Amino acid sequence: MDSFKTHTGLVVPVDRVNVDTDAIIPKQFLKRIERTGFGQFLFFEWRWDAEGKEIPEFTLNQPRYEGASVLLSRANFGCGSSREHAPWAIMDFGFKVVIAPSYADIFYNNCFKNGILPIRLSEEEVDELFKRAEENEGYQLTVDLNNKIISDERGLKIDFELNEHRRQFLLLGLDDIGLTLQHADAIAEYEARH
C-alpha cells in the first residue's frame, strides 16, 4: 500500500445520506476475486439507466468532476452489508479521501485497510464544503494527514480528528499484513525455535 501524507484533489459532492454499500458497488459485480476493476461499477445504478445510458444529473457523470479524488457525502456513508468491495470500488475509481459526518463502522475500518482516508467532519463543516464545491468549479481540497488539517485555496482550514494508530497505518502505507511483516525477523526466530 502507498503511504498517505498529503493529498490535493478535486472534490465531487454526492449529496445523499445513508449511502449503502449496494449503491456503492451493486451485488451483481461481486463475482470478481481481485481488488481491481471495480471502479467502473461505482454507483452503477445512479450513473447508468436501464438502457445503459449515462444519467447526466449524477455528479460523477458531470465533466466538471472528472478526475475527482475527494468524495464528499452525507451521514452514515457506507452503511448496509459489510462488503469490502465498496472501498475497492472507491479506490479503483481514483478516490483517496472520503469526507462525511459519519460512516458505518465496517466500511470505515475497511477504508484504512485499503489506503483510503475517511474523514469525519461536523454536519456544518460538511455543509460548507458542499456549498464551496457546488459554487466553485474545479474546487479542490488539500488534506494534510501529518497535521490533520483540510484546507483550500480560499482560506478554509479545518482540523479533523483521527485515531493515532490509524493515522500511522496510512502514513507508513501499512495494511494488516504489512504491520505483521514489520516483525518478520521475530516471527522467523520464533518459528526456528519451534
Cell of 38: 471495480
What is the phi-psi region of residue 80: left when phi exceeds 0, alpha when psi lies from -120 to 50, beta otherwise?
left
Q: Is the pLDDT of residue 2 over 90?
A: no
Strand partners, 48: 54
Handedness of CA 59, 60, 64, 65 (dihedral sign): positive
pTM of the model as a whole: 0.90
Q: What are phi and psi of 187, to 5 degrees?
A: -65, -45
Tens of pLDDT along 42-58? 999 999 999 999 999 99
CB 122 within 8 A of CB 108: no
Write down the mean pLDDT value for the chain. Answer: 92
Q: Could you give the C-alpha distances from 40 to 9, 29, 75, 76, 102, in angstroms and in order?
A: 20, 10, 24, 23, 25
pLDDT band at 34, cuts 50/70/90?
A: confident
Handedness of CA 122, 123, 127, 133 (dihedral sign): positive
Per-residue pLDDT, 160: 98
Tens of pLDDT along 158-172? 999 999 989 998 998
Per-residue pLDDT, 179: 63
- Nearest-CA neighbor of 110 among 179, 60, 71, 166? 166
Handedness of CA 111, 117, 37, 25 (dihedral sign): positive
Tens of pLDDT along 86-145? 999 999 999 999 999 999 999 999 999 999 999 999 999 999 999 999 999 999 999 999
Q: Map out the domains of the chain with their CATH numbers.
A: 6-193 (3.20.19.10)
Q: Is the pLDDT of residue 184 over 90?
A: no
Per-residue pLDDT, 172: 87
Could you tell me what percent of the chain has a pLDDT over 70? 94
Q: Mention every residue, 6+ apart, whose C-beta is less than 8 A from residue 168.
A: 174
DSSP per-residue codes, 82-145: --THHHHHHHHHT--EEEES-B-HHHHHHHHHTT-EEEE--HHHHHHHHHHHHHSTT-EEEEET
